[in-house]
A and B are shown apart, each in its own frame.
Chain A
């Protein structure tokens, strides 16, 4: 995913595709974002057997890193071109429109969430769970809850990614401007903000207490890193990230992370982790994008780029088509995935949580996400807005996918 620009220039990279299509999009971005969306769906169903197979159980980072990095990459790719072609104002307006769309989508999910807890609260009277019933207090004071939700301060479980994305896009226009003028300076500023955030403990406040689960001041680093790679950074570090030494280091680190994560699943193994190492490593802070998580994601990315080139013919295979389609309509499919994870958990509770039901719900959910993505593609085609059709200047949101 880091070498799209490199792959996009020479025709030999994709002999069958025209130069025009080749310059459009690196399919690896869509593929991995699609897979990340599936993983987010699986991970968001609590106690789901299938979620044991997702990457968070094999290393420090999880699908959230993939999603945010690729989103940064695509946003810079799409809006960077818009900013060069049509200027700061127009491209900024588009970015803000996108942020608004995501806000509306987030509120839609919030309504579904409230409907679910309202339903459960009406049949939840087990004396065992007196303490857990505290979660229904939000329903008792809609005047506060709804306003806090509109302010993005009250964010129910698993509904933290879209608010992060909204904040990242709100800050994106000036960043993109800087990225086009002085890419290195933009990246360094982002890293400085990350470091200051760790030092001073900056974060946005949440309701009823605490702060954001995905700290935007920390997670912006990954988003900006993605954007920087899209704006030529990947070319600059291309040789470095493909060097055998770096690949070897990446593999060693991934193995190390795998070993550590295994000790979480099998507490007996925890005795093998030296105490000093535990004290240095833990806690691995997801809220503030721990360095260990960031490094884990970068190691994964380096290995992916090394072993799956953009020109890899497999990317055209029908087997990857569903994931690519999902990745191309990431906002809709993300929302659908969150909804399906609520629905899946609902099935576990109200119908059955037998293992085969869990597998069925997981597979069924992914199938629905793919069908949804295919449907959205079809809509866009019949509305004549597909990348192939010669409508006006290509719509940034749709140039082979979304930001």
Chain B
């Protein structure tokens, strides 16, 4: 089964086809994504212009190292999956990903991203780098708030993405305070939170994926990224639906 999925994923990518294999394994964590908050700018882009521009801003865990890693990582997979689910919409997922970048460093490039890409959605992944360098959680929260405001003012919806669940380094990187602060900002600013930590932990507990593996191979990592992309696409779908059900003027 595992091999089959991996092969299917690889084949799909090689062909550049939209027919990705959506592994049923991922769905066990679907309840952790759940409908949260509407994505009015995304809904408007989909309904009116039939074009959806997404930018993923993040650090090392938004990409995969190694040959072909970028195509296997969740941003590229998100483009494939969204294109398949919304065939009448032109989907473009751009990335601005650099390793070892803190949340505050990312906010510095937001203006440029908004100008260059004019996205309707920014998926903002952060947390681990801040936790490793010990940025004060309070400052981290302020950065997230400021960043969300900046992106919304620039005409983009935001999805916040938290850290990966990494069992072997769990006792070395104190991410709890950062994860809590991100949740808080998401609640208060009413932006969806993609709880990558809870999702990956759930997969690990159910044995969906082995996160302890020390293998250098990309295979498992690629499947995990594909699953992340699927659930992220679910979150986008729910956000669009919520906006369509309750149309509210964009502030």
- Judge: A and B partners, yes or no: yes
Is A208 touching B69 in the complex (CB atoms < 8 A)? no
Is B181 touching A210 in the complex (CB atoms < 8 A)? no
- B contact residues around A113 at 8 Å (CB): 172
A120 CB contact (under 8 Å) in B168, B180, B224: B168
- B contact residues around A123 at 8 Å (CB): 214
- A contact residues around B211 at 8 Å (CB): 126, 128
Q: Given A125-B215, A283-B138, A286-B177: A131 and B167 within 8 A (CB)?
A: no
**CB closest chain-B residue, reference A284:** B180
B164 CB contact (under 8 Å) in A45, A47, A132: A132
Is A285 touching B138 in the complex (CB atoms < 8 A)? yes
Q: Given A126-B221, A158-B171: A208 and B133 within 8 A (CB)?
A: yes
**CB closest chain-B residue, reference A157:** B174
**CB closest chain-A residue, reference B125:** A131
Is A117 touching B172 in the complex (CB atoms < 8 A)? yes
Is B241 engaged at the interface, CB distance under 8 Å to the other chain?
A: no
Chain B contributes a number of interface residues (CB within 8 A of A) equal to: 49
Distance, CA A47 to CA B129, complexed state (A): 21
Distance, CA A345 to CA B169, complexed state (A): 10
**CB closest chain-B residue, reference A275:** B188
Is B184 engaged at the interface, CB distance under 8 Å to the other chain?
A: yes
- A contact residues around B118 at 8 Å (CB): none
A144 → B minimal CB distance (Å): 13
Is A287 touching B137 in the complex (CB atoms < 8 A)? yes
Chain A contributes a number of interface residues (CB within 8 A of B) equal to: 45
**CB closest chain-A residue, reference B218:** A127
- A contact residues around B64 at 8 Å (CB): 127-128, 130
- A contact residues around B181 at 8 Å (CB): 283
- A contact residues around B166 at 8 Å (CB): 128-129, 132
Task: Encode A330-347 as 1/0 by CB contact (under 8 A) with B.
Answer: 000000000001100100
A390 → B minimal CB distance (Å): 46
Distance, CA A211 to CA B140, complexed state (A): 13
**CB closest chain-B residue, reference A346:** B171
Is B149 engaged at the interface, CB distance under 8 Å to the other chain?
A: no
Is B184 touching A124 in the complex (CB atoms < 8 A)? no
B185 → A minimal CB distance (Å): 10
B171 CB contact (under 8 Å) in A46, A126, A128, A209: A46
Is A282 engaged at the interface, CB distance under 8 Å to the other chain?
A: yes
Is A283 touching B184 in the complex (CB atoms < 8 A)? yes
B136 CB contact (under 8 Å) in A45, A128, A210, A279: A210
B220 CB contact (under 8 Å) in A45, A128, A278: A128
Is B177 touching A208 in the complex (CB atoms < 8 A)? no
B61 → A minimal CB distance (Å): 4
B187 CB contact (under 8 Å) in A116, A125, A270, A287: A270
Distance, CA A361 to CA B211, complexed state (A): 21
Task: Encode B133-148 as 1/0 by CB contact (under 8 A) with A.
Answer: 1111111010000000
If over half of A's interface residues share one DSSP class (helix, strand or loop), that class is named, otherwise mixed; here it is loop
Distance, CA A42 to CA B44, complexed state (A): 49
B171 → A minimal CB distance (Å): 4
B8 → A minimal CB distance (Å): 20
Is B169 touching A279 in the complex (CB atoms < 8 A)? no
Is B174 touching A209 in the complex (CB atoms < 8 A)? no
B244 → A minimal CB distance (Å): 22
Is B174 touching A129 in the complex (CB atoms < 8 A)? no
- B contact residues around A213 at 8 Å (CB): 174
Is B99 engaged at the interface, CB distance under 8 Å to the other chain?
A: yes
Is B28 engaged at the interface, CB distance under 8 Å to the other chain?
A: no
Is A207 engaged at the interface, CB distance under 8 Å to the other chain?
A: yes
Task: Encode A44-76 as 1/0 by CB contact (under 8 A) with B.
Answer: 111100000000000000000000000000000
Distance, CA A44 to CA B176, complexed state (A): 12
- A contact residues around B134 at 8 Å (CB): 206-210
Is A277 engaged at the interface, CB distance under 8 Å to the other chain?
A: no
Task: Encode B52-96 as 1/0 by CB contact (under 8 A) with A.
Answer: 000000011101111001000000000000000000000000000
Is A135 touching B132 in the complex (CB atoms < 8 A)? yes
Is A282 touching B215 in the complex (CB atoms < 8 A)? no
Sample of 16 more A-B contacts, CB < 8 Å, known A120-B169, A125-B216: A116-B172, A127-B65, A127-B217, A127-B218, A128-B61, A128-B220, A128-B224, A130-B60, A130-B64, A131-B129, A131-B164, A278-B188, A283-B138, A283-B181, A345-B171, A349-B168
A–B complex contacts, Cβ < 8 Å, 14 sampled = A45-B171, A46-B171, A125-B216, A127-B216, A127-B218, A129-B164, A130-B61, A130-B99, A132-B169, A157-B171, A206-B134, A210-B135, A282-B188, A283-B137
Q: Which residues of A contact B (CB under 8 A)?
A: 44-47, 113, 116-117, 120, 123-132, 134-135, 137, 156-158, 206-211, 213, 270, 278-279, 282-283, 285-287, 341-342, 345, 348-349, 353
Q: Which residues of B contact A (CB under 8 A)?
A: 59-61, 63-66, 69, 99-100, 128-129, 132-139, 141, 164, 166-174, 177, 180-181, 184, 187-188, 201, 211-218, 220-221, 224
